[in-house]
């Protein structure tokens, strides 16, 4: 029986990284690295590493769980299970270490694997954004601010903006790896006392063997600002995906319908309304994004542990780490499918450009009066504002209102035709898209 939807409904390949079996293996990888460091310091026999390594291959999660049920300590349960399988070298397992020397170092390994997978999927997602931006760099549409029609823009520019944000999130993931790829082997309060003067060398050796950097200073745990940073980057990725999904949802509204997420031939939109084409995939992304963003608050609370540490971070981290990574990976997967099947409705895009009867070209008319007809900017703004308000009240095209006004006599028909052509008022949008998608 599964409780969390991340175990089935929203499951991705990220799940394997956070499964208990993998965590157990990572814990034992750290124990083996510790044994190797001890051999280097000549504090345990040379053959101990081989025996502990062999023992690790025999340890089973079921046995660890069995021991944990008796002693109520998950890490020590692994130590006992590994010791059982390591013969006479079992007495050297975990020598000098405290639980979170193993757990936090293993968590760093898990995070690096998880970030690597996300980088791969985010890179794939960015390429889809890039291709849409290039394909639609000349697709003129109405821009909206405050929920109102503003001036024309292009779908290429919309997706170029998303693409650039995606690149920034890739940079953030890369940067986060530098600060999360840290391990420790410093004991109960960070003093390395149990290593009898060899702590610095042992920690350096262990981390080198694991491909991590050693913490310069720590107490019983790796400081939680590192983990909070990673979860914050995941939240930024989630917020980006939510932004795109929300735009798709709004543009799929019946009265707008400029584009739509894919809808399968046998897909059901509603149990009672057969006509419905609900954007439920995009809505699901928006819903899960809230969860990922909320987990950042918990991660921030975990930073302020008491003294050299307490256990208030432990239980919630069993939830928020895996959940945030899996949720983000799932959202990426869903949004990739949405974008690959995104449907554009050209007729509606053009219809919406004309929906306000030329009012969206008021800005262009104002600029024309200033640049070509010698009006002051404020004067031109007021003239056009009054004309636009009157056109709105009379429900006529702004171009017709201009023709009837005092400025109509100074405007040629060819000039008005150009001014009120939204297809030619996109500024440098094409160049911006081309520059943005070169990276």
**In whole angstroms, what is the distance from residue 98 CA to residue 81 CA?**
16
For residue 48 the two structure tokens come to 């101990």
Q: Which residues contact 19 (CB under 8 A, 6 or more apart)?
A: none
Helix (H, G, I), strand (E, B) or coil at 182: strand
Residue closest to 359 by CA, chosen among 394, 404, 406, 410: 394
CA of residue 412 relative to chain centroid, distance: 52
Q: Are 408 and 135 in contact (CB under 8 A)?
A: no
Q: 50-55: long-range contacts at Cβ-Cβ below 8 A with a sequence spacing of 24 or more?
A: 51/86, 51/87, 51/88, 51/89, 51/90, 52/82, 52/86, 52/89, 52/90, 52/92, 52/93, 54/85, 54/86, 55/82, 55/83, 55/84, 55/85, 55/86, 55/87, 55/89, 55/90
CA distances from 18 to 34, 97, 170, 364 (A): 22, 23, 21, 55
Which residues are identified as catalytic? 146, 270
């Amino acid at each position: 029986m599964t409780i969390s939807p991340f175990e089935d409904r929203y499951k991705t390949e990220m799940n394997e990284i956070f499964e208990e079996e993998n965590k157990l293996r990572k814990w034992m990888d750290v124990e083996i690295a510790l044994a190797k460091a001890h051999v280097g310091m000549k504090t345990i026999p040379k053959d101990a590493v081989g025996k502990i390594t062999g023992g690790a291959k025999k340890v089973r999660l079921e046995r660890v769980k069995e021991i944990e049920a008796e002693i109520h300590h998950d890490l020590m349960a692994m130590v006992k299970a590994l010791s059982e399988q390591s013969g006479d070298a079992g007495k050297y397992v975990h020598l000098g270490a405290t639980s979170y020397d193993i757990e936090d170092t293993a968590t760093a390994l898990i995070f690096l694997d998880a970030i690597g997978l996300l980088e791969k999927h985010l890179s794939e997602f960015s390429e889809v954004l890039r291709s849409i931006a290039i394909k639609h760099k000349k697709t003129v549409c109405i821009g909206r601010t405050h929920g109102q029609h503003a001036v024309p823009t292009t779908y290429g520019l919309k997706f170029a903006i998303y693409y650039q944000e995606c690149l920034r999130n890739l940079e953030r993931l890369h940067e986060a790896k530098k600060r999360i790829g840290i391990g420790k082997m410093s004991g109960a309060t960070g003093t390395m006392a149990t290593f009898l003067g060899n702590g610095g060398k042992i920690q350096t050796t262990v981390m080198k063997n694991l491909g991590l950097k050693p913490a310069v200073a720590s107490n019983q745990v790796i400081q939680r600002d590192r983990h909070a940073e990673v979860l914050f980057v995941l939240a930024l990725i989630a917020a980006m995906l939510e932004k795109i999904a929300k735009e798709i949802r709004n543009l799929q509204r019946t009265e707008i319908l400029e584009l739509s997420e894919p809808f399968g031939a046998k897909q059901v939109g509603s149990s009672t309304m057969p006509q419905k084409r609900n954007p439920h995939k995009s809505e699901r992304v928006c819903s899960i994004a809230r969860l990922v963003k909320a987990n950042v608050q918990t991660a921030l609370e975990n930073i302020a542990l008491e003294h050299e540490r307490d256990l208030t971070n432990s239980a919630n981290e069993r939830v928020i780490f895996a959940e945030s990574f899996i949720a983000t990976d799932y959202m990426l997967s869903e949004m990739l499918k949405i974008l690959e099947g995104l449907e554009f409705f050209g007729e509606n895009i053009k219809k919406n450009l004309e929906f306000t009867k030329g009012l969206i070209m008021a800005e262009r008319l104002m600029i024309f009066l200033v640049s070509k007809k010698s009006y002051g900017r404020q004067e031109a703004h007021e003239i056009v504002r009054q004309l636009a308000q009157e056109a709105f009240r009379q429900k006529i095209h702004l171009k017709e209102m201009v023709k009837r006004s005092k400025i109509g006599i100074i405007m040629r028909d060819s000039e008005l035709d150009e001014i009120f052509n939204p297809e030619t008022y996109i500024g440098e949008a094409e160049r911006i898209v081309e520059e943005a998608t070169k990276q």
